[in-house]
Structure formats: C-alpha cells, structure tokens
C-alpha cells in the first residue's frame, strides 16, 4: 500500500489534465489535413459544375453557328438554282429546279425555327452560367476564409502543444518520485486515462462498480487505490458523492 494525501491526488489529477488536453490537441491536429481536403473537394466539385455549364453553352453556340452556315449554304444553292432557271429549256427542268429551291427553303425554315428555339435555351443557360460563376466566386472566398481559420486554429493548438512538456515537468516536480513512477507505470498500461474519479461507487473511466469496502477506503483518501477492473488510479470525487 502506498500512502498519499489529498494534495497528491490533486497534483496527479492536474497532470492528467494536461495530458488529456495534449491528447485532445493531437487528435484535433490529425483532423486538420482532412478538414482542408474536404473544403478543397467542395470547391473543386463546384468548379466542375461551372465547367460543365460552360461546356453546355459553348456547344449550343457552336450548333448555332453551324446552323447559320447551313442556312447560308442553302441560300447560295437557292441563288445558283435561280440563275439556272434563266437558262432552262424544258418545263420538266424548270419544275425540277423549282422543286429543288422549295426543298432548300423548307430546310432553311426548319433550321431557322430550331435556331430561334435554341436562342431562348442559350439565354437561360448563359444566365445559369453567370449565376454559377457568381456563386463560385462567393464559395471560393468562403472556403478560403474557412481554410485560413482552420490553419490559424491549428497553429494556436500547436503552440499550446509545444508548452505541454514544460507544463508536465512543472507539475510532476510536485509529485514524490516513487508516486510518479507508479503513475508512469499505470499510464503505460492504461493509455489515455491514468487517474480517474469514482462517483457513486462507479469508476468514471471504465464505468464498473467499485466494491463497497474499497469505496469506503477511497473516502479517506489516505492511500493509493486502483480500479479492480481497469487498473487505473482511482480517487473519491466529493462533488459527485
């Protein structure tokens, strides 16, 4: 059995406190690259959306120009046919050329209808593209400031973490070497939580019940006790009962 005082427990709890905080910071820092990646991906996905919309508008414009040149080509053919009309000798030839001209005119009227309809569509798609571009630039600003915040926060956390060793050493100087050795040994076995409160006879690390005899001893706070289930150092927490 190792004799202790309430002060010993308080210092061990303080030591545990800086360790818990350092662990929390390490976990948070590990998440930083993932957080930044999620933000980058979000922006890239939106960028792709803008590019897709841009491609739609470009394709529609190409189609429109192709239609325009088809119409022009048909008009050229119509005027060539009309020139031929002057020179025809027979009625049959005359009718054939008229038919040809009629076909080109029909084709053009179909194409022109299509072009007219596509203008409305292109207007709507261009409007959507312009909205997307505006949204993209807003999102980009938002994401950049979010990333700045994540980086600034992580720098502050890293600074805190860099003080951990100094804090730990300062606190551990107040602990008797023999007790500190026990603490370190338990720490090696239990990882994370070395000392934990017992509330209402329940260990707050493993949530198992502490036997009544031991729980009574804990109230005295005069010797070191270990949870019989998780082997951590335990102490009576007055506030919790």
Q: Which residues bind Zn ion (CB under 5 A)?
A: 203, 205-206, 227, 229-230
Cβ 131 to Zn ion shortest distance, Å: 59
- Name the minimum Å distance from CB 170 to Zn ion: 28
Distance in Å, CB of 12 to Zn ion, minimum = 15
Q: Is the CB of 201 or the CB of 230 nearer to Zn ion?
A: 230
Cβ closest to Zn ion, residue 168 vs residue 226: 226
CB of 176 to Zn ion, least distance (A): 24
The token pair at 13 is 């709890």
Q: Which is nearer to Zn ion, 22 or 230 (CB)?
A: 230
Instruction: Work out how close the CB of 145 gets to Zn ion at its nearest, in angstroms, rounded to a whole number.
Output: 44
Instruction: Report the nearest approach of Zn ion to the CB of residue 192 (Å).
Output: 12
**3-state SS string for 129-191:** HHHHHHHHHHHHHHHHHHHHHHHHHHHHHHHHHHCHHHHHHHHHCCCCHHHHHHHHHHHHHHC
C-alpha span between 81 and 217 (Å, rounded): 115
Judged by beta carbon, residue 129 or residue 234, the one nearer Zn ion is 234
3-state helix, strand, coil in the chain (%, to 5): 80, 5, 15
Nearest to 229 by CA among 214, 207, 212: 207
- The nearer residue to Zn ion, 92 or 191, going by C-beta atoms, is 191
Distance between CA atoms of residues 165 and 153, nearest Å: 20
Q: Please give the radius of gyration of the chain, using alpha carbons only, rounded to the nearest integer.
A: 41
Question: Distance (Å, rounded) from C-alpha 112 to C-alpha 107?
Answer: 9
- Residue number, 199 or 229, with CB nearest to Zn ion: 229
Q: DSSP state, 194? A: S
């Amino acid at each position: 059995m190792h004799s202790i005082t309430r002060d010993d427990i308080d210092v061990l709890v303080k030591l545990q406190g800086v360790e818990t905080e350092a662990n929390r910071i390490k976990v948070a820092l590990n998440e930083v690259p993932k957080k930044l990646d999620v933000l980058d991906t979000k922006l890239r996905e939106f960028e792709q959306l803008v590019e897709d919309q841009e491609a739609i508008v470009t394709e529609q414009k190409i189609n429109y120009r192709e239609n325009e040149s088809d119409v022009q080509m048909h008009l050229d053919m119509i005027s060539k046919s009309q020139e031929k009309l002057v020179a025809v000798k027979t009625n049959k030839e005359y009718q054939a050329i008229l038919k040809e001209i009629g076909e080109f005119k029909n084709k053009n009227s179909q194409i022109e209808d299509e072009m007219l309809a596509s203008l409305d569509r292109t207007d709507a798609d261009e409007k959507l593209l312009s909205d997307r571009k505006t949204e993209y630039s807003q999102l980009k600003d938002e994401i950049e400031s979010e990333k700045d915040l994540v980086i600034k926060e992580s720098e502050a956390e890293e600074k805190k973490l860099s003080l951990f060793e100094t804090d730990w050493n300062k606190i551990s100087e107040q602990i008797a070497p023999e007790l500190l050795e026990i603490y370190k040994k338990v720490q090696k076995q239990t990882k994370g939580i070395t000392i934990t409160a017992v509330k209402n006879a329940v260990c707050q690390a493993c949530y198992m019940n502490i036997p009544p005899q031991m729980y009574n001893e804990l109230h005295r706070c005069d010797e070191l006790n270990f949870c019989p289930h998780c082997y951590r150092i335990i102490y009576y927490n007055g506030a919790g009962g």
